[in-house]
């Protein structure tokens, strides 16, 4: 089971002031109170998901051109699951692990 604090699109700016990418950021870890997936997607609390469920949700939310960032809720420690990282890479996604 994986605790998911948030899934949402971020924005990265280039040095020229233009948007460089629009990554899908998946923040792993408990933050707030446990809630449903829908409420977590709205920014309220965190949810607990099986890795396959999380993978399916990410695939549904991203295109093959969407960069994906796996982040951890640093204040709680820990890293995103390595298996999720490798599964996304095997599917052909541009994925990275980001420490905030």
What are the pLDDT digits (tens) for 33-87?
Answer: 999 999 999 999 999 999 999 999 999 999 988 999 998 876 655 567 889 999 9
8 A C-beta contact, residue 48 and residue 5: no
Give the Cα separation of 86 and 4 in Å (integer).
18
Give the Cα separation of 6 and 32 in Å (integer).
11
Token pair listed for 67: 């960069």
User: Is residue 99 scored above 90 in pLDDT?
Assistant: no
What pLDDT does 21 receive? 65
8 A C-beta contact, residue 11 and residue 25: no
Averaged pLDDT for residues 85-93 = 95
Collapse the DSSP code of 39 into the 3-class scheme (helix H, G, I; strand E, B; otherwise coil) and give the result. Answer: helix
Domain ranges within the chain, ordered by starting residue: 2-98
What are the pLDDT digits (tens) for 12-30?
Answer: 666 787 766 688 999 998 8
């Amino acid at each position: 089971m994986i605790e998911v604090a948030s899934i949402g699109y971020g924005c990265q700016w280039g040095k020229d002031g233009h948007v460089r990418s629009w990554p899908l950021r998946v923040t792993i870890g408990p933050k707030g109170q446990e809630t449903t997936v829908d409420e977590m997607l709205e920014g309220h609390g965190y949810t607990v998901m099986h890795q396959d469920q999380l993978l399916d949700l990410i695939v549904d939310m991203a295109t093959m051109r969407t960069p994906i960032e796996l982040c951890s809720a640093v204040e709680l420690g820990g890293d995103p699951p390595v298996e999720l990282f490798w599964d996304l890479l095997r599917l052909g996604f541009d994925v990275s692990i980001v420490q905030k």
